[in-house]
Amino acid sequence: MRPFLELDGIRKSFGPVVALDHVTLRIEKGEILCILGPSGCGKTTLLRLIAGIESPDAGHVRIEGAEASEVPVHLRQIGMVFQDFALFPHLAVWENIAFGLERMRFPRAEIRQRVRSLLSLMQMESLWDRRIDQLSGGQKQRVALARSLAPQPRLLLLDEPLGALDRQLRERLMVDTADILRRIGMTALYVTHDHLEAFAVSDRIAVMQNGCIAQVGTPEEVYQRPASIEIARFFGFENFVPAKRVADHVLQTDLGTLKCAAGADAAQDDETTILIRPDSAVWICDETRFDEAPNRISGTIVRRRFLGAQIHIVIRFAPEALLSFLLPSHPAPPPVGAPIVLSLNPAGIVAGIKSA
């Protein structure tokens, strides 16, 4: 059975700038796939090619097995949420959401039902008759999202759809949006630079860097085992330590001998780099547990930042070795300047990570 959307060897340049470099990707029907990457990596260009706004220099875009270049843009049944809203300022909220349905000649009763449902979901029932120029930026973004969902397109492209909203509203809407898409079986490509947003929304994530797909996997896979140091840094990871593998799942480092659960494919005695995720540490505050705790490391706290439920600490383990960790704020870890002993979960130590 063929994938719903196939991208094969897509290449696109703008003058001397290569925006997309042989991008190949498969999306299954009903899947929400996030294109995740920093600004300028080619995410939006890829969406524009799928929508037909741009044409590739090379490669193929196939939707349900059909070459997309042979299908006019207005017949592709693709919805898109743009970063700049693309709303009609002379129409009210209700009219903006209903616009596509009216153009497609949906029955009036169904139009009313869909618009009311989307207004309720976006928490905008009381604003149904407001003009667009009377709305805040966040309200405009919610109208744009609702309008794109209303016709139930066979493929939905979302380009940073929640970027204009505050964090609390974004967190609520990202979950609501994913729930809606899954409930109606929508196939969607969701572009974002925020990895937490990608983790919350997607079934799979395609990490883009410099116009290429650098890694594809479930949110758990790309978080737990990033394919390169560059991807790990993009996720905010900082703890990279040289190591030598001395036995299965056993590494010799300047921190001591550590056991890991990932990266067992390295050859014995190979020198490698390990990633220690910041959430892998537990503070050993009870001396009776020292001997039973795995991967014990000792150091001195040099920085400490309260983040609410967590405390971010930076620990010096040697004159040139600084590692950062996130610990629960209760019990609170020691103050700056105090010694500390941590136990590292083997599942949080990734061996064999390399530069792209």
Residue 144: which H helix or E strand, with range? helix 137-149
The model's confidence at residue 270, banded by pLDDT at 50, 70 and 90, is confident
Query: What's the mean pLDDT when you consider all of the chain?
Result: 89
Comparison of pLDDT for 266 and 158, the residue scoring more = 158
**CA–CA distances in Å: residue 33 to residues 3, 73, 238, 299:** 13, 22, 26, 41
The answer to whether residues 314 and 336 touch, using CB atoms and an 8 Å cutoff, is no
pLDDT above 50 (res 322): yes
**Can you give the pLDDT at residue 300?**
95
Surface-to-core class of residue 240, CB atoms within 10 Å of its CB (0-12 exposed, 13-18 middle, 19+ buried): middle
Residue 163 has pLDDT above 80, yes or no: no
Q: Does CATH place domain 5-234 in 3.40.50.300? A: yes
pLDDT at residue 17 is higher than 90: yes
pLDDT digits (tens, 9 = 90+) for 50-107: 999 899 999 999 999 989 987 888 788 899 887 777 899 889 999 999 998 998 899 9
Confidence of residue 286 (pLDDT cuts 50, 70, 90): low
Q: Is pLDDT at 277 greater than 90 in this prediction?
A: yes
- Identify the residue with better confidence: 136 or 12: 12
Rounded average pLDDT over 37-59: 93
- For residues 208-212, give the mean pLDDT: 96
Nearest to 50, CA basis, from 30, 37, 35, 39 = 35
In the chain, pLDDT over 70 holds for what percent of residues?
A: 95
* pLDDT at 267 > cutoff 90: no
Give the model's pLDDT for residue 207. 98
For residue 186, the surrounding DSSP H or E stretch is none
Residue 275 pLDDT greater than 70, yes or no? yes
How far, in Å, CA of 12 to CA of 60, rounded?
Answer: 12
Top-confidence range, 164-178, 204-218, 265-279: 204-218
What pLDDT score does 289 carry? 61
pLDDT at 158 over 90: yes
Contact 203, 218 (CB under 8 A): yes
**Side chain identity at residue 319, one-letter code:** P
For residues 208-223, give the mean pLDDT.
96
How far is Cα 136 from Cα 145, in angstroms, rounded to an integer?
14
Q: What is the topology classification, in CATH, of domain 240-351?
A: OB fold (Dihydrolipoamide Acetyltransferase, E2P) (2.40.50)
Q: What is the percent of the chain where pLDDT is above 90?
A: 61
Least confident residue range of 98-107, 263-272, 299-308, 315-324: 263-272
Delimiting residues of CATH 2.40.50.100 domain(s) in the chain: 240-351
Query: In this predicted model, which residue has the larger pLDDT, 264 or 79?
Result: 79
Task: Give pLDDT, residue 264.
Answer: 46
**pLDDT at residue 268, as a whole number:** 52
Whether 7 shows a pLDDT value over 60: the answer reads: yes
Q: What are phi and psi of 309, to 5 degrees?
A: -70, -15
